[in-house]
Chains A and B, each alone.
Chain A
Amino acid sequence: MLKNFVSYITYNIINLDSGSRLADAMNFFIYDTIKIFFLLSIIIFAISVIRSYFPPEKTKRILSHKKEFIGNILAALLGIVTPFCSCSAVPLFIGFVEAGVPLGVTFSFLISSPMVNEVAVVLLWGLFGWKVAAIYAGTGLLVAISGGFIIGRLKLERWIEEYVYKIHMGQEQEIIKQDFGDRLQYAKWNTLDILKKVWLFIILAIGIGGFIHGYVPEDFLSHYAGRGNPFAVPVAVLIGVPLYSNAAGVIPIVYALMEKGMSMGTVLAFMMAVTALSLPEMIILRKVLKVELLAVFVGIMTVTIIAVGYLFNAIL
């Protein structure tokens, strides 16, 4: 139905000649734009409602004194449904430590939260199909679980700033009571907030898919960064680590790389490196972690993401 409607717009209202390259590109562009914004709005809204049931205060209680491994798995999963913004990373970190959440478990949460999120998953789903989206989400969780687990095993508590242990809140933080109407209201605002932030990147990504498609040779990158080149994954990840963007911002680049023949594993590893590690977040985390721990964190993440990239390339 949507297809017919879009064709009507392209060929009758904008009045492009059916069959011309421009008309097809335009048709594809309008169709994809509507489809992705529709998906995005529904899913952000739904997940925002779900998130209102998992405030960080509750997550903290669930993870408190959890055993390693089980705790890492739970933390990575809760990272998806707990609302978290890296601007609140310091109070969250201190709160987790104070509640007795193990360090490695806290890291599983901090890794999964920015990387495996609804915007990333919906965009991958809309542009490359559900399989790619599922693989990204699944391996994102895997990276969060194993990264956090390794950090926990290394016993790095001595590299947390001392004052963190001295903060005692003395009182249980309260969870704001919300009725269902409140939840819907906040979910609506959240959806609008996010759409406002990401719409331009998405249009850019779809535009790249629709219009650059025919103009750069399909296998332009596969020659340099295809499956045959064993250095493609580490190079892509090392480029991605210092780059910082949210999932939406990196999508146009991801689309272009994928279109032009870079293999899937390499592209997804690149995307993870960009979303999982960012300089602003490191600067914020530096307030609670010593430089040594930050360095270990970045190192472990880099190695894990590279491993995942190779894994993708081997199985896809």
Chain B
Amino acid sequence: MDIKVLGPGCANCEKMKGLAERAVKELGLEAKIEKISDIQEIMKYTMSTPGLVVNGRLKHSGKPLPTLEKVKQLIREEA
């Protein structure tokens, strides 16, 4: 599984990454979690950060951040 967290490096992007890591762990999945801060790469998916991309699909963008439960659901949808 391939998970990307999109964000230029704001506090919310770090939180998003933390959420993704916890979600993957709690779901017991194998996943590569990557933080993307290159603007051109981010803009392939969205204009609002933080973003969450699972297996190439944009699942969340912008504020407010989803809860841990929601992140788990978003990841499960693509698993």
- Chain A interface (Cβ < 8 Å from any Cβ of B): 55-57, 60, 83-85, 87-88, 90-92, 94-95, 167, 169-171, 173-174, 176, 185-186, 189-190, 192-193
* B residues less than 8 Å from A91 (CB atoms): 8, 39, 42-43, 46-49
Contact between A167 and B65, CB atoms less than 8 A apart: no
A58 to chain B, nearest CB (A): 11
- When the two chains form the complex, which single residue of B10, B39, B61 contacts A87, counting CB atoms closer than 8 Å? B10
Report the separation of the CA atoms of residues A167 and B47 in the bound assembly, to the nearest whole angstrom. 13
- Assuming the A-B contacts A87-B10, A90-B8, A174-B58, are A169 and B43 also in contact, with contact meaning beta carbons closer than 8 angstroms in the complex? yes
Contact between A92 and B64, CB atoms less than 8 A apart: no
* A residues less than 8 Å from B70 (CB atoms): 185
The 3 A-B pairs with the shortest beta carbon distances in the complex, nearest first, are A189-B64, A95-B47, A190-B64
Q: Mark B37-78, 1 if CB is under 8 A from A, else 0.
A: 001101111111100000001111111111100100000000
Interface contacts beyond A85-B62, A85-B63: sample of 14 additional A-B pairs, CB < 8 Å, sorted by A: A55-B48, A55-B61, A56-B47, A57-B47, A83-B48, A84-B48, A91-B8, A91-B46, A167-B39, A169-B43, A171-B44, A173-B47, A173-B58, A176-B58
Which residue of chain A is the closest to B9 with respect to CB atoms?
Answer: A87
* B residues less than 8 Å from A94 (CB atoms): 39, 43
- Chain B interface (Cβ < 8 Å from any Cβ of A): 8, 10, 12, 39-40, 42-49, 57-67, 70
* B residues less than 8 Å from A192 (CB atoms): 64
- Assuming the A-B contacts A94-B39, A174-B58, A185-B70, are A190 and B63 also in contact, with contact meaning beta carbons closer than 8 angstroms in the complex? yes
* A residues less than 8 Å from B45 (CB atoms): 173-174
Contact between B58 and A92, CB atoms less than 8 A apart: no
Report the separation of the CA atoms of residues A18 and B59 in the bound assembly, to the nearest whole angstrom. 56
Report the separation of the CA atoms of residues A193 and B66 in the bound assembly, to the nearest whole angstrom. 11
- When the two chains form the complex, which single residue of B59, B60, B63, B66 contacts A83, counting CB atoms closer than 8 Å? B63
Sampled A-B contacts (7; CB under 8 Å)? A91-B46, A169-B43, A171-B44, A173-B58, A186-B64, A189-B64, A189-B67
Contact between B47 and A60, CB atoms less than 8 A apart: yes
Contact between B40 and A92, CB atoms less than 8 A apart: no
Contact between B39 and A193, CB atoms less than 8 A apart: no
- When the two chains form the complex, which single residue of A60, A170, A176 contacts B61, counting CB atoms closer than 8 Å? A176
* B residues less than 8 Å from A190 (CB atoms): 63-64
B46 to chain A, nearest CB (A): 6
Report the separation of the CA atoms of residues A83 and B49 in the bound assembly, to the nearest whole angstrom. 11
B65 to chain A, nearest CB (A): 7
